Each structure stands twice: as C-alpha cells, then as structure tokens.
Amino acid sequence: MRHAPIDAALFAANRRRLVQLLPQRSVAIVNAADILPTNGDGTLRMQPAADLFWLTGVEQEESVLVLAPQATDPAQREMLFLRQPSEHLATWEGEKLDKQKAQDISGIRRIRWLGELPGVLHGLLCESDCVFLNANEHERAAIDVEDRDLRLTRRLLEKYPLHRYERLAPLLRRLRAVKSPAEVALLRRAIDITDAGLRRMAAALEPGVMEYELEGELLAEFTRRRGRMAYEPIIASGKSGCVLHYVDNDRECRTGDLVLVDVGASYANYCSDLTRTYPVSGRFTPRQRAVYEAVLRVLKSSIARATVGASLRDWKRAAQVEMAGELVGLGLLSPEQAAQDSPDEPACKPYYMHGLGHALGLGVHDVAPFDGPFEAGWVLTVEPGIYIADEGLAVRLENDILVTENGPVDLCSHVPIEPDDVERLMAK
C-alpha cells in the first residue's frame, strides 16, 4: 500500500456499526473487487472494493469478509478469507498478506485461507436464516459486467434456495455517508495533496503551455506525496471548459483564456474533488472576473445552506434560483426569462446545467441516501458553474465540505479561490 498505515480501530468500529443493523441469525458477506482485464493478457491496476476496505482496510484481490454475529462458535462471528501466500505468487505478483499482517490491518482475529470458505460458509448457513449479500447499487452505475458479489449471489441462490436473502447495500449506503473523525482526517490529507498539486501547476501555467503538461505537474506532486489521481482530471482551457467531462487535455493554453481544472487526489482510497479556474495570462479580464465572482457567490451561499436536515433536492434548487439572478446581472438572462424559472425548467439551465454536489469519500461520487436529509458527518462537494459557449468562457468552482451540527465546515478553505488570491498565486 502506498499510504501510511491506518489504525485498525477505524475498521473495527465500522464493522460494529454494521453488525448493529443485522437481524438475529444472519450472515453478511462482502467481496473484494475483480482485477479487470484490458487487451491481451493485460490488466488494470487493482482498485480496492470500497465496502470491503471500509470494513477491513484490506486492499488485496480475492478477499472475502464474513460476519455472523450470532454464530454458535464465537471464532466464526468475524472472519476474513484471503489467498494463501506462496513462493510462486511472491515471485510473479509480489508479497501477499499473511495472517498476522491481515490481523494488524483489519483488527480481525480469525484469518483463514480462501480454500476453506465453502465448507465454513456451509456450516454457518445451516444455522442461519438470513443472508445479506452485497451489490453495486450506486444510482449512476452501469452494471454491464457480473462482479464477484453477483457471482456469489447466483451460486448461493442455486445451492441454498430456501434461505431469506437481503440487500446489504442500503445498510452500507446509510453508514458510509456519515464519516468518522478518522475518515475526515484522511479526506483532509487528500485535499492537502490536491492543494499542493494545484499550487505546483499554477507555477507552470502560462500562455503556450499544453494542458497535458499541467496534468503532468499535478501527477508528479500527487505521486511525491503518496497520492493518486482520484479520477481522470479535467484540464480545460478556453472553449473546452464548456464541455463538462472534457478529459482530452491536449489543447494549448492561450493568452486571454481561462483554464478550468477539475482534479482530486486520492489518499488511502479516500477521494478529494476540487475545481479551480485560472486566468492563463495571470489576471482576469473584467468580464471573466464578473462571471467568476458570480459563481463564487453561489458557491459560498450553497456552502452556508448545507446544514443538518436539508434535502439534496431543495439544496440544489436554491442554487438554481440564485444562479438565475446572477445570470440576469451578467446580461445572460432577461428578467422575463428569469421569471419563468421553475423546478422542471430552471431558468439557469442554458448556462448552468449540472448538479450542485454529491457525497464524497471512498468514491468520488460516494454512496449516501438519495435525497438526504443531510446528517452531521456527511462530506459533500459544492460545485456551481457558468458556461458561456458563445464566449468560449467557463467558470466552475468546487470545494469539499463537512456537515456538522454547528454548520458546514469548508475543508478547502486554505486552497486559493478568491480572485485576488488566485491572481497573487499566479504572480508568484
């Protein structure tokens, strides 16, 4: 693992939170993610399954967590199954977890090899009534490939058809939305790495530099600080900024343009997600500053409205109404057009057409209850923007915030965002 060790108490606490929600005589099973193929015999880098990591801290393929809180044998109430290390694996794939290392990482005492899983699971199911199985139930997920969780579900349904089966994902969605102080600390670390990368990138930003060169500066700083890219970065100069998911990053940054940078570092699998917009020449034009300040006002208001009990739908709607007023001030909408605003057809949609934010954590788009309400411990992105294709001008600003009982906390407050501070950063 690239990151520093994490106290196993975090994962033990997460397991306790889940077990408290399980009914009597139940078993819960969580799998690692598959290693995905590319071309020929190539594979992608292993991406740890967020649910398994949240519960165990384990980042190794073919790992399985089994929780059976009322098992007759106390030693079987919490078990982690792993690939058995061998000289062959060590030579070809590198070191695998042994039982002691797995115990140290997860805090689970009973570590067993994967070959034992069928027999142990059979015994547990014979004394259990209900089986909780996991699946990717993210609302934006494209389920085109059957993963390990779904393959296990199919096998168990065939072999044990008379058991009662329940969905584990809704429980984990509720639990993972509320971040513990230890998780917030990891998210702050990811944000700090992103801040360092943005400062390094800003030092290299000048007319004539290529977008991919700026991406290289970010990647170098992230890697140096034990981080990774949380997602494909958007480095969009000029009119490219009006393409919401632009990832080509192959255009020259030109005098007079703005460059929109949407990027986040991942540290210990916890993701940050920030967006900043910089003037390539070092200073905003009057028009650019006016648009920038309009977006910044909506950002600040939206952060202030992210309070305990707010719904995601109402939070987003308030930003749309405010943005319509800003667009009138910028001459992009007439007062009559703004007056036609409605939830079904927001007046701001031609210039601000996306959502306001999303949950953040072990996923860039992390799991959380669909419409809230927000709870203390939620971490959210806040990302309003204005996109004026006719002018080749785009501004998006994005910070990550923590919802608390005492109001929202801006986790990115130290990352330069005020237009004067951005110009000073560029001047350095």
Q: Which amino acid, residue 16? A: R
Catalytic residue list contains 146: no
Question: What is residue 13's DSSP assignment?
Answer: H
Longest CA pairwise span in the chain (Å): 74
Catalytic residue list contains 41: yes
Count Cβ neighbours within 10 Å for each residue of 93-119 and write b for 16 or more, e otherwise.
eeebbebebbbebbbbebbbeeeebee
Which of 144, 245, 336, 405 is labelled catalytic?
A: 245
Catalytic residue list contains 34: no
Contact 376, 347 (CB under 8 A): no
Contact 247, 230 (CB under 8 A): no
Which of 217, 273, 341, 400 is labelled catalytic?
A: 273
Catalytic residue list contains 245: yes
Which of 62, 138, 358, 423 is labelled catalytic?
A: 358
Q: Which amino acid, residue 58? A: V
Catalytic residue list contains 421: no
Which of 221, 262, 322, 400 is labelled catalytic?
A: 262
Which of 17, 59, 396, 410 is labelled catalytic?
A: 396
Catalytic residue list contains 221: no
Collapsed DSSP state (helix, strand, coil) of residue 229? strand
Catalytic residue list contains 358: yes
- 183: number of Cβ within 10 Å: 21
Contact 170, 394 (CB under 8 A): no
Name the burial class of residue 213, with classes exposed (0-12), middle (13-18) and buried (19+) by CB atoms within 10 angstroms of its CB.
middle
Which of 225, 354, 375, 423 is labelled catalytic?
A: 354
**CA atoms within 13 A of residue 267's CA, in its CB half-sphere:** 27
Q: Which amino acid, residue 110? A: R
Which of 293, 365, 375, 423 is labelled catalytic?
A: 365
Which of 267, 351, 352, 387 is labelled catalytic?
A: 387
Name the burial class of residue 64, with classes exposed (0-12), middle (13-18) and buried (19+) by CB atoms within 10 angstroms of its CB.
buried
Catalytic residue list contains 414: no
Which of 221, 341, 398, 400 is labelled catalytic?
A: 398
Q: How far is CA 64 from CA 58, 121, 152, 253, 272, in A?
A: 10, 11, 11, 48, 27
Residue 148 dihedral angles phi and psi, to the nearest 5°: -65, -40
- As a whole number of angstroms, the distance between CA 92 and CA 163 comes to 41
Catalytic residue list contains 273: yes
**What residues are labeled active site?**
41, 245, 262, 273, 354, 358, 365, 383, 387, 396, 398
